[in-house]
Every structure is written in structure tokens, then in C-alpha cells.
Amino acid sequence: MAQERPRYYGIILARALKQPEYAALNIGFFSYLFAFIAFAALTGLLITSWRGRSLGRLLILASTLSALWAGISALSVLRLITFPGILQLLELGRDAFWCLFLLKSVQSNSSQKMGGLLRVTPINLFTAFLVVASVITVVIPLVAKLTANAGLVSHDATLGIWVAFNIIALLLLEQLFRNSALEQRWAIKHLCIGIGCIFSYDFFMFADALLFKQLNPALWNARGIVNGLMVPLIAISVARNPKWSLDIYVSRNVVFQSVTLIGAGIYLLVMASAGYYIRFYGGSWGSTLQIAFLSGTGALLLIILFSGTIRAKLRVFLSKHFFNYKYDYREEWLRFTQTLADSDDAVPGRILRAMSALVNSSGGALWIRRDNGRYEFTSSLNMPEPVQGITPEHDPLCTFLEKNQWLVDLEEYARNPDLYGGFTPPAWLTGIQNAWLVVPLLFKNGVFGFIVIAASSSQRSINWEDRDLLKMAGQQAASHLAQHFSEKALTQARQFEAFNRLSAYVVHDLKNILAQQSLIVSNAERHKHKPEFIDDVICTVRNSVMRMTNLMEQMKSGMRGNTSQRINLGSLLEEVTAAHAAGKPAPLLRAPLETLFVQADREQLATVFGHIIQNAQDATANDGHVIISVVQAGDMAVVEVEDNGTGMDQEFIKQRLFHPFDSTKGLTGMGIGVYESREYIRSLSGDISVKSTPGEGSIFRIALPRVSTLVITD
């Protein structure tokens, strides 16, 4: 006779557990015991790390009820708990608080709210559903049990409530993941996977029971294991998500050892299964091949377990993906950059202070790579200067850093040299007292230098996170150092440029003075008996001596034209015109209608006008003309030097006229006169412009700011 089918969830479970194949100590008991231990451990971690946020409170309640539900389920298998409705009540509470936690999480990630006349909110809807679910799954079955009235129980309605709970939880999970920003999904993805697997499994189990009117005992027994396996995923998300104000800390060593044991166990199970099939299908060689296979795989497992490299990589993998970071990188980076910017030390000293502070060290020493490939000692902080300040050409440390760009831990090297692939520290490095770490300073895919950090009194070792932080900071330090040395090189280049420019100007002026002296010598034989010639010679020599004295002063001070005064422009032009009157064609000055004053160095401004007049004379035939005129244009005084000489085309004016060291006079010209003239006029807030036509002549316009003609006296 077919077994009577149960009418509601409690009777389904009770009868499933009474089957002969489910004895007291059966798989169901251990399954739910495993879930109880897992959720109890999670609850303990949550309680000890709770920081008072409401989401954390809901998570603690959900985990606590899950632990109680699993424990009562395990005891029910042993028939130690027989109180009617207790399992339904705990399951209802567990599902309710998980859904409330997910609902609150969704609301915290989304600003959308439902509202209206009846204030229909998601919380109100869920509360109404919870009331209905409590009546159907707990109250009615309890009343039916106490009154022995089985007609009160609706089997399909009870299972439908559990299916609805699962659907609601899965919908909330989907909304939580969808409404989270991309950067937040890293923190909640394990939670979504863990809770999603729990409720997906429940949905399958209860949907199966609703379809076949009977709970599958195998599915029920495996449910505890499934729930327990999802707890680590939930814990990972809790540790990653600061919004829940939970700071779970699990020892890295415990996780590492656990993962190692679990991995070894899985490996042995797989190898044992493979060995079984080898024996089964191996024929007469089966037993021998099985023993050989298991021995080889066992030896391989031992090699893996005792491999320092593999264990180190596993530790880094677990630390990176399953734990909070050791550093608050925002704070570390702010402190690092502030040390680089605010310290009173020179740039190398600031970098040493900032880098050593990252690992609580008191100082270090800095080497910088030079153009010849060697590394030169540059600076030190609380560390004695090394005996060998420059590394040899093929130094093993420099070669290792350039090839691998690794951070070198000298203490780790002393414990396990194989980790560094044959590297041997040079004698000068091991001779540095308290040397601990060698940090490469990487810049543009190369090693710009390296820092030897002294041993720390408070930090004895470093992990992968310390290494990443030091290498990242080293790149920033290298960029800072490169900028510092570039600025120094630029400053030196500018100093040399200023000196070279001044030298060129001085040589140019000496050339003009030499031309004057040469003219005197060439005319001395013919005119030495003429008194007026002697007077002119004396005046010219006096002027040359004065100009050469000024040049000597400029060479000493490194400045040119540093004496500024108020100048009568018309008077200055008369002097310059008279000085060039002996040349052909003789310049003609059209005096200004009114007196115009400018502020400048008298001698240098005269040199500018003289150079432009001389160029006009050189470009014009003896029967041509060079006309100098002065006009007023607003706040500017404009001097025009016009000639009807050979002229210039526009390409020459744009490409060559104002470019230094570009002359059309061959070996006799310096090519800096017009360039120097324009630069000086521009330093006075004026400018020089040129209008020229080949074969017709040129007009140079020199514009200078006017100054007041009023003279203020005491």
C-alpha cells in the first residue's frame, strides 16, 4: 500500500526523517551540523567586529537565525527536538532576515522610492507578505497539530510560500547587483554568489516538492552542506564592504594552511580516482601502474607543498583576493607626497625620508644612474657614506636591477638565495651597515637609480603589499628626481646660454670698436698733420675707451644695459646721426616736431639706432638716401629708418633677419645685431617691425613707450 503523502511542510519533513535509511547518525545530521558550525563561526566574527550600523545588525540576525535553524535541524534528525512548528518558525525567521538585509542593501544603493496615497513601500509590501507567510507556514500548521485537525493545513500553499520566499530573495539579489556601481561589485559579488546559491538550491528543492507533493530526502540532507559551503563567500563580502561597518579579520596563516590542506585533499581524491581507473582498465599491469601512478603523484604533491616559490605565490594570491589591504593607500600617498613637498631637505634627502618612512625605517642611501651607465652615490640619511661611491661597470646589483626591476630584500636573500635566481650581492653592498632593502627607482621603463633602505627597528619583514607600495613610491620618487635633475641641467644651460649670448654681444661691440680704430689707422698717414683730424681721433678714441670700459663692466656683472634713464629721443638721434655722417650715403635726420622722451640705457639704445643706420648704409648705394624720422603714435614714440637700397623679401624677413648667428656679410658679420636690437627694444615694452621690397628699399620702425615730459623737482 502506498505511503500516505503528507499534507504540509512539517509532516513532510517528519516523515522523510523517519525512513529506515536515515538512522540517528546519518548524513542529514552531519550536514546540518556542518552548517551550524559555519554560521555560528560567522556570527561570532560579525558580533566581535560590528560597528553599530543597521545593515550590520540585520546581517548578524540573519546569520544567528541561520545557525539556530541549522542546529535545530541537526537535533531534529536525532529526534531531540520535537516541539511542533519550531523548524518552520526558524526557517521563516532565517529567510525573513536575509530578505530584509537584501532589501535594505538595495535601498541604500538606490534612491528610487515608491509612494502614493497608501504609502506602498517595498518594506510595507514585504511586511504584509511576512504576515501572510507566518499565518500559512506557522500558525495554521500549529493550530492543526494541537487540534488534530489536518483539514486546516494547505500543503500547496505552504510550499508556495517557501518558493515565494526564494523568488523574492533572488529578485533582491539581482537588484542589488544591478544597482551597484561597477567599483562596488567587487565588494558584493561573493555575497551575491553565496546567498544566491542558498536560495537557488531552496527554490529547486521546494519547487520539486510542490511538483511531486513530497520533499526529496536527498535534497533535504544535502541542504546543510550547501548552506555551510556558502558561508566563506558571505564572509569575504562582509570583510570587503565598509558600508556594513563590519571589520572581519581572519588570520592569513589560518586561511593559507586551510586552503593548502583542502587543495591537497582534493588533489589526493582526484589522483585516487585516476588510480582506480588505471587499475580497473589496466589489465594485468593495472595494480603495478596504479602503485607507480600514486607514488609519482604523491611525490609531486610533496614537491608542491615544500616549494617556497609556489607557497609564496599562493600566499600573495590569497592576500590580494580574500583580505582587506594592509594600507590605507590614500593616507599613505598623501603622507608620501607631503614629505616630498614640505621637507626642508634637498630633493634627494626628501626622497630618502619619504621612502624609508613607508617601512618605518630611519634612513637610507641613494644612487643615481649617470650617462656612462654607472650608478653614483648621491645622498644618505642616517646611514654612513659608502666607501665605494661609484659602482663598477658590470656591478652584479645594477645588472640584476636593470634586468629584473625587482625589489631586493637582503634578509630574505640570506634565508633563501634561490628566490633571486643566482643573484649575488656585491661586497660594497653587504659592507653597508644595517642595509635591508634595495628599492629600484623606475622611470620610463628603465632604472633611474636605487635606494638602499636601512633596517627598521619595528618592522622585521615585508610582504607583497609592502613591495608593491615601495615600487609604486619608487616610480613617483624617480619621476621627482628626474624632474629635479632636469631643472638643474636646464638652469646650467640657461647660465651658459646667458654667458654665451653676452659674449656674442661683447664680440659684436668689439668688432664695431675695432672698425672705428681701423678707420683711424688707415687715415692716419694722410691726415696726421691736420689738427681737425687729430681732434676727431681723440674724440673717437675717447668714445672707444668709454665703450670698452662699459663692456668690461658688463662682463663682470653679467648684465647688459642695466643703467636706465630718461632720454631725449631727438637729441640722442642727432648724436647717432652725426657719428655715422662720414659713411655713404650720409644719413638725414628729420627732427621731431616736439620733444619726446623715453626710458632706456642711453648707450645701448644708441647702439641699436647706430646698428640699424649702419645696415641701411651698407645696403644702399652711395648716391641713395637714408632718412631718419621721428613721429608720435599715441603713447609710443616711433623712429623710422628708411633707405632705398637692395631691400629684402618676406621670406628673408621671417626666416633669417631676426635669427641670431645668421649673417649676409660673410665672415665679417656676427648675425646678432638685429636680433640683439629687437630683444633689447622688446625688453623696454617696445618692438621693431620691418617693411621691405626687393630692389626698392626698406623701412625699419622702432616703437618705444613715451614717458612724461614733465620734470618733477623738490
Tens-digit pLDDT profile for residues 97-132: 888 888 888 776 554 444 443 455 677 777 777 788
Query: How far, in Å, are 110, 212, 596, 597 from residue 635 at the CA level?
Result: 66, 104, 11, 11
The answer to whether the CB of 673 falls within 8 A of the CB of 611 is yes
Alpha carbons 329 and 333: distance in angstroms, whole number:
6
The answer to whether the CB of 215 falls within 8 A of the CB of 13 is yes
Alpha carbons 47 and 57: distance in angstroms, whole number:
9
Query: How far, in Å, are 580, 586, 624 from residue 621 at the CA level?
Result: 15, 11, 5
As annotated, the residues of the chain forming the CATH 3.30.450.40 domain(s) are: 329-483
pLDDT at 260: 64
Mean of pLDDT values over 121-146: 74
pLDDT at 206: 84
Alpha carbons 552 and 131: distance in angstroms, whole number:
103
Mean of pLDDT values over 348-371: 88
Contacts with 58 (C-beta within 8 Å, 6 or more apart), sequence order: 97, 100, 101, 104
CA-CA-CA-CA torsion for 415, 418, 424, 425, nearest 10 degrees? -40
pLDDT at 179: 75
Mean of pLDDT values over 3-7: 37
Amino acid at 553: E
The pLDDT tens digits for 277-319 are 666 666 666 666 666 766 677 677 666 666 656 665 665 565 5
The answer to whether the CB of 647 falls within 8 A of the CB of 692 is yes
Amino acid at 275: G
Assess whether pLDDT exceeds 90 at residue 639.
Answer: yes
pLDDT at 643: 94
Lowest-confidence segment of 78-82, 405-409, 445-449, 665-669 by average pLDDT = 665-669
Higher pLDDT, 136 or 327: 136
Higher pLDDT, 182 or 640: 640
Mean of the per-residue pLDDT values of the chain: 76
Q: How confident is the model at residue 524 (pLDDT cuts 50, 70, 90)?
A: confident
Lowest-confidence segment of 77-81, 269-273, 560-564 by average pLDDT = 560-564
Query: Residue 160, by phi and psi: left (phi above 0), alpha (psi -120 to 50) or beta?
Result: alpha
The pLDDT tens digits for 262-279 are 666 676 667 666 766 666
Query: How far, in Å, are 37, 137, 681 from residue 202 at the CA level?
Result: 20, 16, 89
- DSSP class per residue in 287-351: HHHHHHHHHHHHHHHHHHHT-HHHHHHHHHHHHHHHS--SS-HHHHHHHHHHHHHH-SS-HHHHH
As annotated, the residues of the chain forming the CATH 1.20.1070 domain(s) are: 9-249
Q: Provide CATH code, domain 329-483.
A: 3.30.450.40
pLDDT at 25: 46
pLDDT at 7: 39
The answer to whether the CB of 376 falls within 8 A of the CB of 389 is yes
Report phi then psi at 145, rounded to 5: -70, -45
- Segments of 617-686 assigned E as strands: 626-633, 636-643
Q: What is the percent of the chain where pLDDT is above 90? A: 12
Residues 234-263 as b or e (16 or more Cβ within 10 Å = b): bbbbbbbbeebebebebeeeebbeeebeee
Q: Provide CATH code, domain 563-707.
A: 3.30.565.10
Residues linked to residue 439 through DSSP beta bridges, in sequence order? 451
Rounded to 5, what percent of the chain is helix, strand, coil? 65, 10, 25
Mean of pLDDT values over 603-612: 86
pLDDT at 93: 85
Alpha carbons 311 and 680: distance in angstroms, whole number:
72
Q: Looking at domain 9-249, does it have CATH number 1.20.1070?
A: yes
pLDDT at 248: 43
Q: How confident is the model at residue 499 (pLDDT cuts 50, 70, 90)?
A: low
pLDDT at 644: 93
The pLDDT tens digits for 192-251 are 888 888 888 888 888 888 777 788 888 888 888 888 888 888 888 777 765 564 444 445
Higher pLDDT, 459 or 502: 459
Give me 118's grid cell.
497608501
Whose grid coordinates read 629721443?
569
Assess whether pLDDT exceeds 80 at residue 397.
Answer: yes
pLDDT at 304: 65
The answer to whether the CB of 400 falls within 8 A of the CB of 376 is no
Assess whether pLDDT exceeds 50 at residue 45.
Answer: yes
As annotated, the residues of the chain forming the CATH 3.30.565.10 domain(s) are: 563-707
The answer to whether the CB of 109 falls within 8 A of the CB of 179 is yes
pLDDT at 440: 94
Higher pLDDT, 57 or 449: 449
pLDDT at 246: 45
pLDDT at 24: 38
Assess whether pLDDT exceeds 60 at residue 520.
Answer: yes
- How big is the CA angle at 174 (ends 171 and 175), to the nearest 5 degrees? 90
Beta-strand pair 446-454/364-369: antiparallel
pLDDT at 500: 65
Assess whether pLDDT exceeds 50 at residue 484.
Answer: yes
Higher pLDDT, 688 or 157: 688
Q: How confident is the model at residue 394 (pLDDT cuts 50, 70, 90)?
A: confident
